Amino acid sequence: MGKLLFWIIVAFIVLLAVRLVGSAQARKRRDRDAAQRVTGPMVRCTKCGVFLPKADAVPVADGYRCREPACLPPS
């Protein structure tokens, strides 16, 4: 009887450990995905050379420009 109880406790601890490791990995993966979604790929302004997220950049013929008035192409 004592031996059975021992194995039940061992199985419980193993299951708990597997669960903890799995949720930690899932959280890490989710954090990394969220960080990538927020920043996205970076591009360089062809005029002033500043790096900015591609989503905030203005595409021009020779690359990307930042949104500084001096860098924006004349419209």
Please give the residue ranges that form the binding site for Zn ion (CB under 5 A): 45, 47-48, 66, 68, 71
Closest approach of Zn ion to the CB of residue 71, in Å? 3
Structure tokens at 41: 């790929």
Closest approach of Zn ion to the CB of residue 63, in Å? 11
Cβ-based nearer residue to Zn ion, 16 or 55? 55
Contacts of 45 (CB under 8 A, 6+ apart): 51, 52, 57, 64, 65, 66, 68, 71
Cβ-based nearer residue to Zn ion, 8 or 48? 48
Q: Which amino acid is at 15?
A: L
